[in-house]
Amino acid sequence: MPPKRKADQAAPTAAGPTGRKAAAKAGGGRTTRGGKTTAVGARAESVDAVQTARAQAGDYLTTAQGVRLPDTDHSLKAGSRGPTLLEDFHLREKITHFDHERIPERVVHARGAAAHGTFTAYGNATAASKAGFLQQGRETPVFVRFSTVLGSRGSADTVRDVRGFAVKFYTEEGNFDLVGNNMPVFFIQDGIKFPDIIHAGKPHPDREIPQAQSAHDTFWDFVSLHTEATHHVMWAMSDRGIPRSYRTMEGFGVHTFRLVNGDGATALAKFHWKPVAGVHSLVWEEAQLAAGTDPDFHRRDMADGIENGAPLEFELGLQLFPDSADETFEGIDLLDPTKLVPEELAEVQLVGKLTLDRNPTNYFAETEQVAFHTGNLVPGIEVTNDPLMQARLFSYLDTQLTRLGGPNFTQLPINCPHAAVNDNLRDGMHQTAVHQGVSPYLPNSIDAAPRPAREDEGGYVQVPREIEGRAVRENPVSFADHFSQATLFWASMSEVEKVHIVEAFTFELGKCYEQPIRERMLGVLANVDADLCAAVAEGLGLPAPAGAPAEVVPSPALSQVPPGPGSITGRVIGVFAAPGADLAGITKLRRAVEARGAVLRLIAPLGGVVKRARSEQIVERTLLTTRSIEYDAVVVAGGIPDFTDIKLSILLGELFRHCKVIAAWGDGDQVLTAAGIDTTAPGVVVGESVAKPFTAELLDTVGLHRVWERAAQVMAS
């Protein structure tokens, strides 16, 4: 029997569309998700508002069925001391819903934080890609989630780990997801090993220890046995493994993509994100302190920064390579995800700006439910045969089916494209759209249906590629080079960065119980660099084996020590004051700090206000509620020369050890000296008063991020 047509549906005619299609046409570039209409390109707020209206309308507390409730604090009982009655539908609904509030956390990248923003294209990428969001001046809403990889959702932000950098572009041609990391290479060359490296990195299955750490036997067992991991391990043990904040991380697409321009010409490309605030890291002691005193260090920094008007800013960069038959560039295999192309060989061309300036409204609805997928591509951007990338193309959609409970997660507001959606996908768990019509298939002669788009109508048509070969389980020969780029990375580091890498290896291998694993890893390091291997071996109390490191030409772009002062946007300057301090000086300093986009926080011995004569200033932190990790610099105000407190000495001592800026004006230098700070050391700025030369020197030194000249003094003490 033919299906019955609903009364409000127009009968199909040979001449034209039925009601549904006509409505879609009339709406122009509008989408009708969940029965609500949203303008193409409209920001996520409007989508949020539609959903909020469903869940939070009206003034009264109601059940999920909309029945108004008089009381939500007392269950229905047989008498005030009696048993609870099963008929209490409100109690049952409230508890049942609560019981199901959690969804499975991500199997990797479980802990994350996100922000909304906009991507604005400079227009110079159009020669390489026809993607609409790269057209000059085009503004595209984005949602970006940063994450750690190994830890559970409740672990700490500052652990040594890779950071995820996943960007969802809500483009007019559909969603494009650039699901990258803060390191340009990966541990493995073939996605089939991904479950293995993650099993090795996650806590041991017997006791579930350690949480969010790579410093344990199974991780080092794996990477010492799979030497293709060596290059990525170098990055993870470097300062890149402990970023200062999300705003000071680079991002990388890792794989090589294939770009297609309007003429059909192709190029191979690697994506980069360059932070406007520079690339900066914590030092290891800070990372450890922060994991205890403020496990939310990075997410707090991002949310506070955005709230204080200091958006996170990154520029999108492209490294472009000819789409050659062998898919190599200067001898580097572009399909090998353990290899990078030094920027000195292929310049990173900046093609647009990402600004993150809006915090999510609801963590669960947005940050937890966002679903990225490397297969979310738009015309002009295609994948390559990188075997790591190929496996990812399967994994992301698959994992969302479990995590988000079925195939309709694209209808969640945060995942919903801003482009018009007209698919023939139907039904399934959590279907919220009320689809019309009876023939969700193509072609059909009953309903007006969406029609396939030609390439010139924006249809995603893959560039035709020749594919041939024997079905084999093997790597190309070039994938056998596991060490030369690890050596390149080491050779490109500054001295202080090398010291940090040695310390990180020594720490992590020192946490392993199995001696053969340490020895095998020293054998790996011997093939990276003899000095590195010798220094780590010394720390472990083991002999250094001999290796055969490659000859390399260093790539200065890999070092993150800045050549000169950079932006201090979002940085935090603490000012210590006590009753009687020079409050007028603090006001002046606050103005100078805020003019450079940074934040000033007043620290005092006790809460409330600090007074001097008739003026006063509000205290934001006390010596009990703060720790040095919160500040990029601490300044002691003049006017309190006799102040001493062990907690202040600890705060300043940590800043000194971590090579951060310390300053004082007026007689504040006496407070520094009493706290054990050498006021003649590099990066200790003292001035007569809060005048321009003092503030300029102070803030420029903060712009260097650290005063590494002090490192030798710190290590000698």
Question: Could you tell me which residues are annotated as the binding site for heme?
Answer: 106, 145, 194, 392, 396, 403
Residue 78 vs residues 63, 72, 83, 89, 93: alpha-carbon distances, Å:
22, 17, 6, 15, 19
Beta strands in 501-641 (DSSP E): 572-576, 599-604, 609-612, 615-618, 621-622, 633-636
Cβ atoms of 397 and 357 within 8 Å: the answer is no
Tell me: does residue 191 bind ligand HDE (CB under 6 A). Answer: yes
Tell me: does residue 124 bind ligand HDE (CB under 6 A). Answer: no
Q: Which token pair is 671?
A: 């407070």
Question: Of 90, 116, 175, 181, which one is the catalytic site residue?
Answer: 181
Residue 304 phi/psi, 5° resolution?
A: -65, -45
The minimum distance between CB 479 and ligand HDE, in angstroms, equals 15
DSSP 306-344: HHTT--EEEEEEEEEEE--TT-EETTEETT-TT----TT
Active site residue 422: no
Tell me: does residue 399 bind ligand HDE (CB under 6 A). Answer: yes
Q: How far apart are CA 67 and CA 70, in angstroms?
A: 10
The minimum distance between CB 181 and ligand HDE, in angstroms, equals 4
From the list 18, 51, 147, 484, which residue makes contact with ligand HDE (rule: CB under 6 A)? 147
Tell me: does residue 152 bind ligand HDE (CB under 6 A). Answer: no
Q: How far apart are CA 390 and CA 393, in angstroms?
A: 5
Q: How many residues bind ligand HDE (CB under 6 A)?
A: 26
Active site residue 216: no
The minimum distance between CB 173 and ligand HDE, in angstroms, equals 22
Tell me: does residue 180 bind ligand HDE (CB under 6 A). Answer: yes
Q: Which is nearer to ligand HDE, 16 or 195 (CB)?
A: 195
From the list 254, 493, 526, 690, which residue makes contact with ligand HDE (rule: CB under 6 A)? 254
CA-CA-CA-CA torsion for 373, 377, 381, 386, nearest 10 degrees?
A: 40
Q: Which is nearer to ligand HDE, 108 or 652 (CB)?
A: 108
Q: How far apart are CA 671 and CA 656, in angstroms?
A: 14
Tell me: does residue 395 bind ligand HDE (CB under 6 A). Answer: yes
Residue 258 pairs with which residues in a beta bridge?
268, 382
Q: How far apart are CA 710 and CA 714, in angstroms?
A: 6
From the list 115, 179, 341, 636, which residue makes contact with ligand HDE (rule: CB under 6 A)? 179
Please name the amino acid found at residue 433.
A
Q: Which is nearer to ligand HDE, 106 or 240 (CB)?
A: 106
Q: How far apart are CA 526 and CA 600, in angstroms?
A: 47
Q: Which is nearer to ligand HDE, 257 or 490 (CB)?
A: 257
Tokens 């054990």 correspond to: 676
From the list 106, 339, 482, 658, which residue makes contact with ligand HDE (rule: CB under 6 A)? 106
Tell me: does residue 151 bind ligand HDE (CB under 6 A). Answer: no
The minimum distance between CB 506 and ligand HDE, in angstroms, equals 27
Residue 337 vs residues 180, 329, 334, 357: alpha-carbon distances, Å:
12, 14, 7, 32
Tell me: does residue 185 bind ligand HDE (CB under 6 A). Answer: no
Closest CA to 285 of 678, 655, 675: 655
Of 92-100, 367-375, 475-483, 575-583, the window that binds ligand HDE (rule: CB under 6 A) is 367-375
Q: Which token pair is 390?
A: 């190929």
Tell me: does residue 340 bind ligand HDE (CB under 6 A). Answer: no
Residue 305 phi/psi, 5° resolution?
A: -60, -45
Q: Which is nearer to ligand HDE, 392 or 612 (CB)?
A: 392
Question: Of 90, 109, 255, 280, which one is the catalytic site residue?
Answer: 109
Active site residues: 109, 181
Q: Which residues make up the interface to ligand HDE (CB under 6 A)?
A: 106-109, 112, 145, 147, 164, 166, 179-181, 186, 191, 194, 254, 370-372, 388, 391-392, 395-396, 399-400
